[in-house]
């Protein structure tokens, strides 16, 4: 089907959402995990070479897949669409997907609220880096003040429906400001090699309103429509690319806001659809391209000193201050749901769903400051075990950039394919001292915790290789935090912080150098050990929420216990001063003997 010059059949405006493409429900990356790889060695390079080695070939002189790595990353679009010599002569190869792609825009336009239209206007007219600063939450205003980041688009002008307004602000700020290194890092990621124009010109895929009509565009943005459709391609979205590049730069410098910044970029991309300016596939393409560009630029040795300076600057000049700006991204669950949905926009998997996850060369740099206590190989395994399943439109590029899920990767491993040793040095501060893994971890590998830092496991974990604590603190915040295997405490602290039961799926062996810490808020807080228990070392009981246990309350159950092994000492915190407790060991459980002084 050829594209009509001015508009497409009005039937498209009422086309029902196709069950095989976009719909009211979507295929969640969490419900269909990626096929696990056996190695994280980068796949063979595509025809244009590894992206990070040739990213500077993304320029106006290179407009083919074999010469421009950015076009190569997006080459999955060639399975949906054959570009024409002009904007209106391309051919659909998969009408189901492409029609649904436009229908999604039509539906969002019909359903958008006035506040959503206003947000879409601001994200269109403001410079993208200025907008993404919102992801810093309470620090937003402090950053803007200290970086000299400004905008001239502060509201929706009354005559915006007839007049185009351009932002004359400073985008991310000034390189000579107090946060000049952070600004420079943003500018570098958004620099000379990051334009979407070569890809737009290659794919020649029209914007949504050229498939339907300008009625889907936010009225205040109609004056911003480029009058020349031949210079106004839709795929990939330039605004989305710019937003993600900014987010990756800021997240490198401020990993404490990693997921919030990525969510803000994802919101800006989504607002391109709300605006009627771009389609879901345009936005997916912009994100994928930005991910590859960010990794390439951050991996470039020429930028090594800059990225370190930006990180240091953020942690000495920005994070040391207390901000009071609104944090629109404080709800983790909401962020995760929205970000995950926007990775695929509800498209079904139209290609093989069995391709193993691959990790692009250099992609591990995107987690360098977020998971600083892991080495490069470990970060690659995190990316491999948190990636999207195969088969989605556009996302199965040869190197794997489209399938990366960096929001999930920021929550640690998705599986232990092999044994994993984590060494955290609390003296280095930040994530070295304390981090939490929120993913549901599967796999057959073993987790060994070393170093003085604290690692918190929050997922519903099923890994079966066992858990070992040699140093520091390993804290469980879910019923199955420690998987299904044995747990051995050689010298650190195993900490339970769960409302209700926490289960150890095998044996629990604690040496004389180890400590077990239980958080007790009610009689329902019990540590269940499915296997045998060897209980040496310390037991710490932390009572909270004014809980005073009844005499005989069970705190630990086990299949059996070595008769001669008992905790060498018991410490309590939070128990009213008129009470003290002792431990009574029975054949299958340990109880509290409560004594009132």
Structure confidence at residue 563 (pLDDT): 72
Q: pLDDT tens across 442-474, in order?
A: 999 999 999 999 999 999 999 999 999 999 999
Going by their DSSP bridges, the two strands 434-437 and 415-416 should be labelled as unpaired
In order of their start, the domains of the chain are 10-406 (1.20.144.10), 413-596 (no CATH)
DSSP string, 489-512: ESSSEEEE--SSEEEESS-EEE-T
Structure confidence at residue 38 (pLDDT): 82
Considering the entire predicted model, what is its pTM?
Answer: 0.94
Looking only at Cα atoms, what is the longest distance across the chain? 90
Number of alpha carbons in the 13 Å side-chain half-sphere of residue 319: 16
Q: pLDDT tens across 165-204, in order?
A: 999 999 999 999 999 999 999 999 999 999 999 999 999 9
Contact 395, 284 (CB under 8 A): yes
Structure confidence at residue 477 (pLDDT): 98
Spans of the chain, pLDDT less than 50: 1-31
Integer Rg of the chain from CA:
27
Contacts of 403 (CB under 8 A, 6+ apart): 34, 357, 358, 387, 388, 389, 390, 395, 396
């Amino acid at each position: 089907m050829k594209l009509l010059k001015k508009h497409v059949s009005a039937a498209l405006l009422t086309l029902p959402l196709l069950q095989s493409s976009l719909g009211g429900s979507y295929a969640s990356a969490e419900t269909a995990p990626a096929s696990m790889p056996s190695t994280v060695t980068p796949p063979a390079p595509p025809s244009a070479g590894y992206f990070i080695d040739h990213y500077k070939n993304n320029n106006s002189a290179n407009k083919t897949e074999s010469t421009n790595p950015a076009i190569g990353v997006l080459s999955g679009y060639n399975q949906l669409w054959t570009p024409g010599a002009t904007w209106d002569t391309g051919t659909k190869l998969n009408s189901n997907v492409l029609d649904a792609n436009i229908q999604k825009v039509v539906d969002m336009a019909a359903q958008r609220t006035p506040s959503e239209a206003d947000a879409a206007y601001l994200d269109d007219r403001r410079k993208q880096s200025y907008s993404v600063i919102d992801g810093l939450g309470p620090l937003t205003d402090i950053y803007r003040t200290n970086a000299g980041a400004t905008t001239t688009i502060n509201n929706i002008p009354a005559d915006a429906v007839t007049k185009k307004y351009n932002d004359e602000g400073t985008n991310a700020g000034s390189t000579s400001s107090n946060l000049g290194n952070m600004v420079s890092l943003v500018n570098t990621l958004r620099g000379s090699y990051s334009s979407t124009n070569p890809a737009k010109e290659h794919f020649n895929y029209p914007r949504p309103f050229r498939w339907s009509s300008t009625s889907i565009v936010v009225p205040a943005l109609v004056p911003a429509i480029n009058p020349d459709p031949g210079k106004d391609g839709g795929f990939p979205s330039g605004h989305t690319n710019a937003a993600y590049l900014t987010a990756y730069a800021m997240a490198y410098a401020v990993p404490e806001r990693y997921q919030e910044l990525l969510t803000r970029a994802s919101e800006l991309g989504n607002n391109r659809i709300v605006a009627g300016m771009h389609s879901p596939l345009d936005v997916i393409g912009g994100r994928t391209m930005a991910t590859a560009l960010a990794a390439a630029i951050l991996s470039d040795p020429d930028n090594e000193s800059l990225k370190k300076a930006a990180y240091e600057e953020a942690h000495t000049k920005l994070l040391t201050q207390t901000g009071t700006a609104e944090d629109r991204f404080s709800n983790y669950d909401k962020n995760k749901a929205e970000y995950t949905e926007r990775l695929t926009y509800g498209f079904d998997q139209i290609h093989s769903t069995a391709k193993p996850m691959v990790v692009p060369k250099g992609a591990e740099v995107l987690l360098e400051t977020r998971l600083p206590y892991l080495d490069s190989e470990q970060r690659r395994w995190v990316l491999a075990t948190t990636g999207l399943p195969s088969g989605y439109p556009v996302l199965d590029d040869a190197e794997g950039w489209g399938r990366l899920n960096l929001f999930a990767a920021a929550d640690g491993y998705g599986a232990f394919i092999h044994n994993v040793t984590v060494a955290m040095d609390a003296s280095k501060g930040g994530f070295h001292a304390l981090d939490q893994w929120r993913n549901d971890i599967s796999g057959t590998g073993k987790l060994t915790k070393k170093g003085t830092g604290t690692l918190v496991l929050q997922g519903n974990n099923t890994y079966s290789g066992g858990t070992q604590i040699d140093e520091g603190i390993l804290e469980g915040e879910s019923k199955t935090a420690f998987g299904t295997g044995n747990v051995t405490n050689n010298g650190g602290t195993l900490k339970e912080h769960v409302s209700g039961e926490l289960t150890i799926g095998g044996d629990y062996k604690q040496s004389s150098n180890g400590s077990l810490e239980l958080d007790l808020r009610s009689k329902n807080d019990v540590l269940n050990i499915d296997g045998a228990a060897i209980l040496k070392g310390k037991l710490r009981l932390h009572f909270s929420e004014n809980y005073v246990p009844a005499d005989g309350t069970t705190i630990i159950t086990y299949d059996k216990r070595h008769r001669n092994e008992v905790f060498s000492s018991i410490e309590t915190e939070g128990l009213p001063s008129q009470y003290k407790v002792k431990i009574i060991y029975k054949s299958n459980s340990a109880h509290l003997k409560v004594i009132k002084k």
